[in-house]
């Protein structure tokens, strides 16, 4: 069965305290190459049957209304992963309208 993966990230203009904590820990552990970390959320929705435009439209609606808080987060990517593990972009990267 295919899965739809929804990635949600804090808005770029907002402070990300979890990301700052991880960045600080990386520096303390000697990993100086990483200068910034942003922590987000990933949702995997398993779908019965084929993923069509109607399904993708429903996922976009669910992502905007339930999976993210539009005041502080952006849905940055929606990807379809078929049963064989192949990825196909269902929506462009970046903030989705």
CATH of the domain at 36: 3.30.1280.10
E strand or H helix at 80: strand 73-81
Indicate whether 95 belongs to any domain. Answer: no
7 by DSSP, 3-state: which? strand
Count of structural domains, the chain: 1
CB contact at 8 A, 34 and 26: yes
Residue 65, judged by CB atoms within 10 A of its CB (0-12, 13-18, 19+), counts as exposed
Note whether residue 96 is domain-resident.
no
Q: Return per-residue pLDDT of the chain as tens, 97 residues.
A: 999 999 999 999 999 999 999 999 999 999 999 999 999 999 999 999 999 999 999 999 999 999 999 999 999 999 999 877 777 766 544 445 4
Gap between the Cα atoms of 56 and 14, Å rounded: 28
Residue 97 lies inside a defined structural domain of this protein: no
Q: For residue 49, give its domain range.
A: 3-89
């Amino acid at each position: 069965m295919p899965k739809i993966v929804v990635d949600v990230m804090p808005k770029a203009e907002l402070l990300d305290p979890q990301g700052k904590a991880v960045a600080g820990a990386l520096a303390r552990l000697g990993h100086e190459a990483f200068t910034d970390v942003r922590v987000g959320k990933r949702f995997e929705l398993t779908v019965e049957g084929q993923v069509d435009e109607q399904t993708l439209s429903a996922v976009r609606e669910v992502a905007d209304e339930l999976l993210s808080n539009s005041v502080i987060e952006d849905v940055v990517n929606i990807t379809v992963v078929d049963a064989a593990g192949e990825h196909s972009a269902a929506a462009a990267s970046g903030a989705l309208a």
